[in-house]
């Protein structure tokens, strides 16, 4: 079993490290400017000069993919951070105190989960305009319920535990119990949750950008590149493939990593 | 997302014979004089076609309530006015047999054609025409048409048809009359089941799926060769292209050059123009665009040829002012060369205006029409060269209408303006200082007086034309906007489908098409 | 029974919250339906008249109350744009989306069960690892990218179908189902991969239990143990997952409808939002949410049936 655990952690970690490394590289350096255009070089197929070819404006697809991955990861990080922090807060309080407030908040979480994500994103975008910050907020809100549910269950389980009950009897305050005893115990579920969250956040960002709601042109985003490339599928298949594969590899890295982490936890 | 073709300010209208030249489909084919033969000649292919359109007919189908250009494009085949435009931009008699205008320009006589029947089988009479004019004047959502009709003093029966008397002469009245579609007075539900006199009758529509028209056998004119036209709706441009390329559609208009070059199915490709003025419209009420030097600097900074090469492989016609080439009488191609691409000149003008290090501004663009977004993307890149940082902001069409167009709350925007009636005033009236549609807050006394002179009925036609040309020159000289182009309009047609003709209007005439 | 009632109450409250949120959202969005209906050339008076006609000039709460009472009576209101009953409009679109969802679900089942059992019975650790990595890879491809690939490879390359040549089910039910095969597969493959993963680990857990050892010692064949005994227990969590999938599939179909240009609920939702056709949006949002909530409820119920120890609420 140990051997396989290593395999998933290794594969997932390696792939994630590679993609994150490339994305980091992309934020500081790209072979070409991701927005530089060249009329003479439209739809150039992959070559040594342009590793992944060029797009309909003659822009270097490799440079755009690099920067697009950076944007995707940054958005995913912010989204997961919002979802995780707010979700943990809501989940902890609900799980620990219970009562009608818990009931209502849980229903609200259900409602947000049931609310079509596209609609929420559209509402926020219509209110505050299109852009990176707006999409972060929209997706962040959507990610709160899953973390809240996770944390709520775990907190409720711990609340019943003997050591918490005795701490309570010894007169330890609620705040102290939450921060000193319950929070540290949440890492076990939050760890894989965060990795899976990344996985979902990358996918959601790509979906939103695919619908034109995410990162705005001329800045590259994997989802919007994929959407743009559809028209040129036959003329420049490398354009769609590069963007699509980048999304798939990012997600694969995270999901292998999550699998590895879960197996290690079980083992 | 959804791509709705928007030709701003829907071409309701029609030309009044003012147009000098109009483009035609490049491979032109003679229109069959006798179309009865065509449908029997080709038994292997039924005379019906599928046309791909990029937007649903999601507004009312009532002829006076239609707002979307895309809806008018389809319903042009169903409705007719007393007169209607042809592909060369002339007004030809339709429901009226002919027309005559009195020397004082106040009385218009339209004898009605014999045997014109509505799609519901009823014959068209004076009562129907009267009803149509009254309903249109009271109901139309187009304020320009309503304003023109408010000038009508009397509509009476006589001379074998209709006699319309105006209170004041209006050189554009005939084109306005063409946009008053004639409908039966007892027609019930035009919004859902439109009834007109056109060569095709409306059969059905299925929301976001299709609209079906069938040949109207009671049509007074030449019978169309096609028996049935199904407009299939693809609100996603990529899906539309995919369906076209796979052969599921026989005809698609308003394609981009990139799409056309990606076509691999051997369809004929015809090229025309979209008949609009695409420009980066600058809000003169907002710094730094209140400065003429800054506006001129932007004109020098933008390389229109390079932009055309990038977005359309060089297709499209450069315009240098608020007029597009279909207006041959006024259009001056020389204006497009006033500001050749010159980065150094742009920088020195910026320095002179007090922006040696450039500045930044927001360029608001409606997201629903890709060619505008593509052009804007290229301009943002070009402006970087002179140190101007343009931030692209895509907004929904409805938001654009409220904030930018009506609210004038913007710095710069990139859209295309077309003419609501194909008259010079339709393009030029809006830049008069106190005009309600003067979105960019242009204020130039010289322009105002030149425009007023052009509108003065005491001037001869030549003098009017000269004044209109002066207006255009003033717009160009003062760099009112960064004028770009009239977009190329590509149409892909199945190999054996012939007869497509471009109109100087946003319409597709299905009655001219036939299978070979 | 009491907990079931409580669950139902929670369900209703959730739906109520969703519709209230949706209603609130529309009052916040700038640009009103009158502008979108009348276009750029309309006079302010005409717009005001239309707003009054549509009842948009009345207070938000009054409108919400009217909508809610209408909804409860089964009256979904009228579309601003098409001027027809929303219920009538939605009927056709719902059929299409329901067909797509059903077909996707069917494919998910057909792919997940045999492959999951196969993956669960692989003994070689290297083969198992390879299967798992492959499975993870299938999970990671976004459905809309799969859809694009399908159009490119199967549509243009192999000419297995004509992208965009959609036929409506009223015209030709089988033709429609045929067209939906590839969209449905695009949705089903990543979903099925997740189910395979779950089924595999669930089978492995069951195989380690005492009753399996007992059965083995009694000399039952591996095949019999797997198919007769293990599967019955192992499949329970998978069924719950599949039930939840029904909700996810519906959401995914919004994107897939876009790629394959299928005129379903998803496309109507997107266009109605940008056209500010609120009665249509409200109806779709509420119905979609009802579907999601109901399916989750079903999943809960199944979980409880599967494992009576799980407390609900």
Contacts of B67 in chain C (CB under 8 A): 37-39, 41-42
Structural domain includes residue C2: no
What's the pLDDT score for residue B38?
A: 39
Residue-number span of the structural domain to which C121 is assigned: 87-263
3-state secondary structure at position B356: coil
Chain C residues closer than 8 Å to B8 by CB: 40
> Looking at the predicted structure, is the pLDDT value of residue B148 above 80?
yes
High-pLDDT (> 70) share of chain B, %: 90
The verdict on A247 touching C (C-beta cutoff 8 Å) is: yes
Nearest CB neighbour to A126, from listed C30, C152, C270: C30
Q: How far is B113 from chain C (nearest CA, A)?
A: 32
Instruction: Kindly state the average pLDDT of the residues C301-307.
Output: 70
Task: Confirm or reject contact between C84 and chain B (CB < 8 A).
Answer: yes
Max intra-chain CA distance, chain C:
87
**C30 has a chain B CB within 8 A of its CB:** yes
Q: Which residue in B208, B234, B438 has the most chain C C-beta atoms within 10 A of its own C-beta, making it the best mutation to test that interface?
A: B208
The mean per-residue pLDDT over the stretch C74-98 comes to 84
Quote the pLDDT of residue B25. 38
Residue C144, chain A, CB below 8 Å: the answer is yes
Which one, of B174, B26, B5, B47, lies nearest residue B513 by Cα? B47
A33 to chain B: nearest residue by CA? B381
Q: Which of residues 23-62 of C touch A (CB under 8 A)?
A: 25, 28-31
- Cβ neighbours of B68 in C, within 8 Å: 39
Question: Lowest-pLDDT range, B195-204, B274-283, C160-169?
Answer: C160-169
Q: Widest CA span of chain A, in angstroms?
A: 77
The helix/strand/coil state of B138 is helix
Asked whether the beta carbons of C262 and C184 are under 8 A apart, the reply is no
Does A126 lie at the interface with B, CB-CB under 8 angstroms? yes
User: How close, in Å, is residue B502 to chain C by CA atoms?
Assistant: 25
Is residue C169 a part of any domain in this protein? yes
Judged by a CB distance cut-off of 8 A, whether residue B297 touches chain C is no
Residue A195, min C-alpha distance to chain B (Å)? 30
Least confident stretch, A152-156, B31-35, B285-289, C205-209 = B31-35
Look at residue B448 in the predicted model and tell me its pLDDT.
95
Mean pLDDT of C256-264: 83
How far apart are alpha carbons A119 and B428 in whole angstroms? Answer: 40
Is residue C108 exposed (0-12), middle (13-18) or buried (19+ Cβ within 10 Å)? buried
**Mean pLDDT for chain B?**
84
Cβ neighbours of residue C99 closer than 8 Å, sequence gap 6 or more: C169, C176, C177, C180
Domains contained in chain C, number: 1
Contact list, C83 vs chain B (CB under 8 Å): 60, 191-192
| Interface contact flag, A210 C144, Cβ < 8 Å | yes
Q: Does A119 touch chain C (CB under 8 A)?
A: yes
pLDDT at B5 over 50: no
User: Looking at the complex, does the CB of residue B188 fall below 8 Å from at least one CB of chain C?
Assistant: no
Confidence of residue A267 (pLDDT cuts 50, 70, 90): low
**Cα of A205 to nearest chain C Cα, Å:** 11
Lowest mean pLDDT among A96-110, B425-439, C22-36: C22-36
CB contact under 8 A, A39 and B367: no
B402-416, B430-444, B466-480, C297-311: least confident range? C297-311
* pLDDT for the residue numbered C31: 61
Please tell me whether residue B93 adopts helix, strand or coil conformation: strand
Give CA separation, C88 vs B206, B207, C78, C256, in Å.
11, 11, 9, 24
Q: Which of B173-182, B332-341, C50-59, C279-288 has the lowest mean pLDDT?
A: C50-59
In SS3 terms, chain A reads as CHHHHHHHHHHHHHHHHHHHHHHHHHHHCCCCCCCCCCHHHCCCCCCCCCCCCECCCCCEHHHHHHHHHHHHHHHHHHHHHHHHHHHHHHHHHHHHHCHHHHHHHHHHHHHHHHCCHHHHHHHHHHHHCCCHHHHHHHHHHHHHHHHHHHHHHHHHHHHHCHHHHHHHHCCCCHHHHHHHHHHHHHHHHHHHHHHHHHHHHHHHHHHHHHCCCCCCCCCCCHHHHHHHHHHHCCCCHHHHHHHHHHHHHHHHHHHHHHHHHHHHHHC
Say whether A114 and C139 touch across the interface (CB within 8 A).
no
How many structural domains compose chain B?
1
**pTM of the entire predicted model:** 0.81
Q: Is the per-residue pLDDT at B9 higher than 50?
A: no
> Is B233–C258 a contact, with Cβ atoms under 8 angstroms apart?
no
C212 belongs to a structural domain:
yes
C145 Cα to chain A: minimum distance (Å): 6
Report the pLDDT value the prediction gives residue A86, as an integer from 0 to 100.
94
Give the chain C residue whose CA is nearest to the CA of B243. C164
CA distance A224 to chain B (A): 10
Task: Assess if residue C45 is contained within a domain.
Answer: no
Q: Structure tokens of A90?
A: 């809501």
Contact flag B309-A230 (C-beta cutoff 8 Å): no
Amino acid B235: pLDDT: 75
Are residues C290 and C182 in contact, defined by beta-carbon separation less than 8 angstroms? no
The tens digit of pLDDT for each residue in A195-253 reads: 888 888 888 888 888 887 777 777 888 888 888 888 788 788 899 999 999 999 999 99
Could you give the CA distance from residue A92 to residue A109 in angstroms, rounded to a whole number? 14
Give the CA distances from residue B100 to residues B87, B163, B221, in Å, rounded to whole numbers and listed in that order. 22, 10, 21
Closest chain B CA to residue C86: B207
DSSP B22-62: ----SS--PPPS--HHHHHH-TTS-SEEEEEESS---S--S
C-beta atoms of C263 and B9 within 8 A: no
Pairwise CA distance, residues A128 & A141, whole Å: 15
Q: Which of C35, C53, C54, C82 to mutate to test the interface with B (most CBs of B within 10 A)?
A: C82
Q: Which residue of B has its CA nearest to C80?
A: B59
What is the tens place of the pLDDT at every residue in A126-171?
667 777 888 898 889 888 988 888 888 888 888 878 888 888 888 8
Mark yes or no for CB contact C267/B235 under 8 Å: yes
| Cα B194 to Cα B45, B57, B191, C256, C306, distances in angstroms | 29, 13, 6, 34, 58
Chain A within 8 Å of C9 (Cβ-Cβ)? no
Most confident of the ranges B133-147, B160-174, B340-354 = B340-354
Determine, for residues A247 and C145 on separate chains, whether the beta-carbon distance falls below 8 Å.
yes
Phi and psi, residue B271, nearest 5°: -120, 130
A117 — contact with chain C (CB < 8 Å)? yes
Tell me the C-alpha to C-alpha distance, in Å, between residue B516 and each of B50, B199, B250, C163: 16, 20, 13, 26
Residue bearing the bigger pLDDT, A85 or A38: A85
Tell me whether residues B240 and C43 touch, CB distance under 8 A.
no
Residue B257 sits in a domain whose CATH number is 3.40.190.10
Domains parsed from chain A with CATH numbers: 70-266 (1.10.3720.10)
Contact yes or no for A233 and C148 at CB 8 A = yes
* Contact assignment for B399 to A126 by CB distance below 8 Å: yes
The enclosing domain of C118 has a CATH number of: 1.10.3720.10
- Express each pLDDT in B28-71 by its tens digit: 333 333 334 333 444 445 689 999 998 777 777 888 888 777 88
Strands B412-417, B360-366: pairing kind = parallel
Structure-token match 């009267």, residue found = B130
Task: Determine, yes or no, domain membership for B224.
Answer: yes
- Tokens standing for B98? 């002919």
Alpha helices in C29-124 (DSSP H): 33-38, 44-54, 60-72, 86-121
- CB proximity C168 to B under 8 Å: yes
Reading the block at residue B299, the tokens are 């004109």
Q: How far apart are CA B438 and CA B394, in angstroms?
A: 22
Instruction: Evaluate whether residue C18 is within a structural domain.
Output: no
Q: Please answer whether residues B364 and B404 qualify as being in contact, where contact means their C-beta atoms are separated by less than 8 angstroms.
A: yes
Q: Is C113 inside a domain boundary?
A: yes
Q: List chains adjacent to chain A, taking adjacency as at least 3 C-beta pairs closer than 8 Å.
A: B, C
What are the chain A neighbours of C270 within 8 Å (beta carbons)? 118, 211
Count of CA atoms in the C-beta half-sphere (13 A) of A166:
3
Q: Which residues of B touch C151 (CB under 8 A)?
A: 242
The answer to the question of residue B180 being in a domain is: no
How distant, in Å, are the alpha carbons of A242, B226, C173 from that of A225?
A: 9, 40, 35
The token pair that represents B486 in the structure block: 């009239």
> B482: which strand partners?
B280
Specify the range with the lowest mean pLDDT, choosing from A86-95, B73-82, C96-105, C285-294. Answer: C285-294
pLDDT at B283: 95
ipTM of the complex: 0.81
DSSP class of B401: I
pLDDT at C310 over 50: no
């Amino acid at each position: 079993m140990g051997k396989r655990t290593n395999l998933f952690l290794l594969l997932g970690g390696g792939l994630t490290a590679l993609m994150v490394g490339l994305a980091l590289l992309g934020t500081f350096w790209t072979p070409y400017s991701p927005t530089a255009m060249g009329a003479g070089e439209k739809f150039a197929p992959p070559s040594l000069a342009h590793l992944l070819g060029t797009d309909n404006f003659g822009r270097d697809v490799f440079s755009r993919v690099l920067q697009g991955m950076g944007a995707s990861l940054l958005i995913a990080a912010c989204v997961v951070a919002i979802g995780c922090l707010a979700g943990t807060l809501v989940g902890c309080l609900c799980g620990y105190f219970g009562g009608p407030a818990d009931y209502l908040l849980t229903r609200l979480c259900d409602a947000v989960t049931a609310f079509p994500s596209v609609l929420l994103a559209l509402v926020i975008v219509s209110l505050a305009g299109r852009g990176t910050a707006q999409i972060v907020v929209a997706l962040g809100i959507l990610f709160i319920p899953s973390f809240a549910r996770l944390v709520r269950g775990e907190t409720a389980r711990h609340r019943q535990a003997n050591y918490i009950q005795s701490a309570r009897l010894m007169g330890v305050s609620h705040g102290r119990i939450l921060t000193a005893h319950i929070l540290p115990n949440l890492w076990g579920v939050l760890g894989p949750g965060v990795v899976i969250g990344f996985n979902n956040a990358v996918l959601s960002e790509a979906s939103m950008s695919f619908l034109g709601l995410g990162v705005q042109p001329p800045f590259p985003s994997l989802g919007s590149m994929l959407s743009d490339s559809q028209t040129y599928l036959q003329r420049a298949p490398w354009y769609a493939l590069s963007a699509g594969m980048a999304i798939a590899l990012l997600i694969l890295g995270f999901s292998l990593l999550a699998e590895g982490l879960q197996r290690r936890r079980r083992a | 997302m959804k791509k709705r073709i928007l030709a701003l300010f829907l071409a309701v209208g029609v030309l009044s014979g003012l147009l000098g030249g109009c483009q035609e489909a490049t491979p032109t084919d003679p229109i069959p004089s006798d179309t009865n033969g065509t449908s029997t000649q080709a038994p292997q292919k039924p005379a019906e076609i599928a046309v791909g359109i990029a937007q649903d007919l999601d507004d009312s189908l009532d002829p006076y309530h239609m707002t979307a250009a895309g809806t008018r494009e389809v319903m042009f085949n169903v409705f007719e006015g007393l007169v209607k435009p042809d592909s060369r931009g002339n007004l030809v008699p339709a429901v009226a047999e002919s027309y005559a205008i009195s020397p004082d320009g106040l009385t218009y006589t339209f004898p009605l054609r014999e045997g014109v029947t509505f799609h519901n089988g009823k014959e068209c009479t004076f009562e129907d025409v009267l009803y149509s004019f009254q309903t249109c004047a009271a109901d139309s959502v187009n304020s320009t048409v309503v304003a023109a009709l408010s000038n009508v003093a009397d509509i009476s029966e006589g001379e074998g048809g209709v006699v319309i008397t105006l209170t004041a002469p209006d050189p554009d009245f005939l084109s306005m009359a063409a946009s008053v579609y004639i409908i039966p007075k007892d027609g019930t539900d035009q919004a859902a089941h439109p009834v007109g006199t056109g060569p095709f009758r409306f059969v059905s529509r299925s929301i976001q799926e299709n609209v079906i028209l069938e040949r109207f056998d009671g049509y007074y004119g030449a019978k169309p060769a096609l028996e049935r036209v199904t407009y299939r709706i693809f609100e996603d441009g990529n899906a539309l292209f995919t369906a076209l390329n796979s052969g599921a559609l026989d005809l698609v208009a308003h394609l981009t050059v990139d799409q056309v070059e990606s076509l691999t199915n051997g369809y004929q490709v015809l090229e025309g123009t979209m008949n609009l003025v695409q420009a980066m419209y600058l809000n003169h009420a907002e710094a730094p665009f209140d400065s003429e030097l800054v506006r001129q600097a932007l004109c020098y900074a933008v390389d229109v040829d390079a932009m055309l090469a990038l977005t359309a492989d060089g297709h499209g016609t450069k315009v240098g002012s608020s007029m597009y080439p279909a207006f041959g009488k006024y259009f001056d191609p020389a204006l497009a060369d006033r500001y050749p691409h010159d980065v150094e000149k742009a920088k020195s003008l910026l320095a002179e205006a007090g922006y040696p290090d450039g500045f930044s501004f927001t360029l608001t663009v409606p997201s629903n029409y890709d060619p505008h977004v593509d052009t804007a993307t290229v301009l943002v890149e070009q402006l970087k060269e002179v140190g101007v940082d343009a931030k692209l902001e895509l907004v929904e069409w409805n938001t654009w209408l409220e904030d930018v167009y009506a609210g004038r709350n913007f710095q710069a925007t990139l859209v295309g303006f077309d003419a609501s009636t194909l008259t010079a005033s339709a393009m030029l009236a809006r830049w008069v200082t106190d005009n309600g549609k003067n979105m960019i807050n242009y204020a130039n006394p010289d322009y105002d007086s030149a425009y007023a002179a052009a509108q003065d009925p005491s001037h001869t036609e030549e003098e009017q034309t000269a004044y209109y040309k002066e207006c255009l020159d003033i717009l160009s000289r003062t760099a009112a906007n960064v004028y770009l182009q009239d977009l190329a309009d590509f149409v892909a047609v199945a190999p054996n489908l012939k007869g497509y003709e471009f109109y100087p209007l946003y319409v597709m005439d299905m009655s001219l098409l036939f299978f070979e | 029974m009491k907990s079931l009632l409580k669950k139902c109450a929670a369900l209703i409250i959730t739906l109520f919250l969703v519709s209230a949120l949706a209603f609130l959202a529309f009052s916040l969005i700038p640009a009103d339906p009158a502008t979108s209906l009348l276009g750029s050339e309309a006079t302010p008076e005409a717009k005001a008249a239309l707003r009054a006609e549509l009842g948009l000039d009345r207070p938000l709460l009054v409108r919400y109350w009217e909508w809610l009472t209408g909804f409860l009576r089964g009256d979904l209101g009228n579309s601003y744009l098409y001027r027809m009953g929303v219920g009538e409009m939605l009927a056709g679109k719902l059929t299409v989306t329901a067909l797509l969802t059903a077909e996707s679900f069917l494919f998910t089942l057909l792919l997940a069960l045999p492959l999951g059992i196969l993956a669960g019975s692989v003994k070689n650790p290297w083969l198992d690892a390879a299967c798992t990595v492959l499975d993870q890879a299938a999970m990671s491809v976004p459905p809309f990218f799969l859809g694009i690939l399908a159009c490119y490879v199967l549509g243009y390359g192999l000419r297995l179908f004509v992208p965009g040549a959609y036929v409506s089910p009223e015209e030709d039910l089988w033709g429609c189902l045929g067209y939906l095969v590839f969209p449905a597969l695009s949705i089903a493959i990543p979903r099925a991969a997740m189910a395979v993963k779950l089924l595999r680990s669930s089978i492995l857990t069951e195989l380690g239990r005492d009753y399996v050892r007992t059965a083995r010692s009694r000399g039952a064949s591996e095949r019999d143990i797997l198919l007769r005994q293990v599967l019955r227990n192992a499949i329970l969590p998978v069924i719950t997952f599949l039930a939840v999938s029904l909700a996810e599939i519906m959401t995914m179909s919004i994107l897939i409808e876009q790629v394959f240009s299928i005129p379903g609920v998803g496309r109507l939702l997107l266009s109605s939002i940008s056209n500010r056709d609120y009665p249509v949006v409200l109806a779709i949002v509420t119905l979609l949410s009802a579907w999601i909530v109901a399916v989750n409820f079903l999943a809960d119920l199944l979980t409880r049936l599967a494992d009576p120890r799980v407390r609900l609420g």
